[in-house]
Amino acid sequence: MQDKNEHIAHLIRSLRKEGPSVFLESQKKDHPASTTSYVAGKPKAWIKSVGNEVVVWDGRVRQSHAINPWKALDEFMNKHQDWVFGYLGYDLKNYVEDLDSCNPSKTSAPDMFFMIPGFLAEISKDDELKILRGYLPEYDESSGLTTEVVITSRNRIQKDDYLDKIKRVQKSITEGDFYEVNLSHALEFEFKGDPFELYSKMKAFGPVPFASYVEVDGISICCSSPERFLSRKGNKVWSQPIKGTWSRKGGSSDQSAELLFQSEKNRAENLMIVDLVRNDLSRIAKKGSVAVKNLFEIQSFETVHQMVSTVECEVKKNTNSIEIIKVCFPMGSMTGAPKISAMKAIEKMENYKRGIYSGAIGYITPEQDFDFNVVIRTAIIEGEKLVYPVGGAITSDSIPEEEWEETLVKARALISAVH
């Protein structure tokens, strides 16, 4: 039998001829969250949105109307009662709270996209592929050909400009506007090659538990995320925010992991987001069921250690899954705290519309179970343009130079994967 990775590459490249596709992959086998992977394609129906303009295709007719995208997604789910795979872009925040997004977009990707797959396969942790519906697409011999991936820097973020923004955030913190803000900037590159080849190189460089690859409307999303946004299994809902990063470069991995665990700054950042997530979950949880598990757990990846905490709760059996996701969206680790004030500051400080970055990619089952990642460490490709946002949490204790260096550490996975 073909090598598993080669087999999946053939499958993804064959499915792209049939329309949008979504690949959710648990790559890091030694990670406790790595379980089943899914390949979804050949849509039977889909829904997408840009702002409040929602387009729905039911397999025959395409309809467009102005509506809150969360409401439209809920109606889509209720109508079809089926598996859906796709993503929620960060700017759906505008339909959760009274917010807006006035900065220019870096790509033309929809704000939201979900599809009901005509083809669905699951891949077990033991690499066994099982077809849940549909038939394997015919392999085009050319789909197995790998192509060289080349990325060339197109823009250089001005270090002084980023440091100035950090200082402005800290000034607002001292004035009591908020406690923490996740500030980002978008790196841009010229791209040549097959986007899935880039995804494969990112995987080879550093496997993660919540990777995903999405193709829709000429956009390719190569996501190498270590972070879970939100998951539901029956009446249990849990979130696993990451806040706290330490480079593995220099010294032994054990020493750097311990340095992260003992870092008061990183603990403070993590605890702020844990409290935010607890507050979000309390809005849909059974009274008294919200609990924090594994506070300040250190998880190790190829280039960095991460500080992860788990917050969980119970919900009533009939609690609507779209409502659960909406209440908690976007992930607090990508905003700061308090959430609304932080998102307003992000809109002022950043010069681009985040789009898919800081959003969530995942699936919802017919039984209303779901699992979504946080869209970080992600390359968004459109034609020959590649966008790769990076960022970090800014607090009153942040040292601007170190925050700048942290964003470069996070970009290393992309640069090193290709070169």
Structural contact between residues 300 and 248, judged by C-beta atoms closer than 8 angstroms: yes
Tokens of 327: 């209440």
DSSP letters, 330-397, are SPGGGTEESHHHHHHHHHHH-SSB-TTTTSEEEEE-TTS-EEEE---SEEEEETTEEEEEEEEEE-TT
- Top mean pLDDT of 5-14, 63-72, 258-267, 292-301 is at 63-72
Which of 174, 270, 282, 279 has the alpha carbon at shortest distance from 227? 270
User: Mean pLDDT lowest for which of 117-121, 219-223, 250-254?
Assistant: 250-254
Task: Quick: pLDDT tens for 6-35.
Answer: 888 889 999 988 999 999 999 877 777 778
- Give the phi and the psi of residue 216 in degrees, each rounded to 5: -155, 130
In this prediction, residue 415 carries a pLDDT of 83
Task: Determine the pLDDT at residue 114.
Answer: 99
Is 126 strand, coil or helix?
Answer: coil
Rounded distance, CA 217 to CA 113, Å?
10
User: Is the separation of the CB atoms in 300 and 270 below 8 Å?
Assistant: no
Q: What is the CATH number of domain 4-139+152-418?
A: 3.60.120.10
Whether the pLDDT of residue 249 is over 80: the answer is no
Question: Torsions phi, psi of 86, nearest 5?
Answer: 165, -150
Q: pTM for the complete prediction?
A: 0.95
Can you tell me the mean pLDDT for 268-291? 96
pLDDT at 43: 98
Rounded to an integer, the average pLDDT of 325-339 is: 97
- Domain spans of the chain, in order of start: 4-139+152-418
Give tens-digit pLDDT for 131-168. 999 998 776 655 555 578 988 887 667 889 999 999 99
- pLDDT-based confidence at 108, cuts 50/70/90? very high
**Span 231-242, average pLDDT:** 98
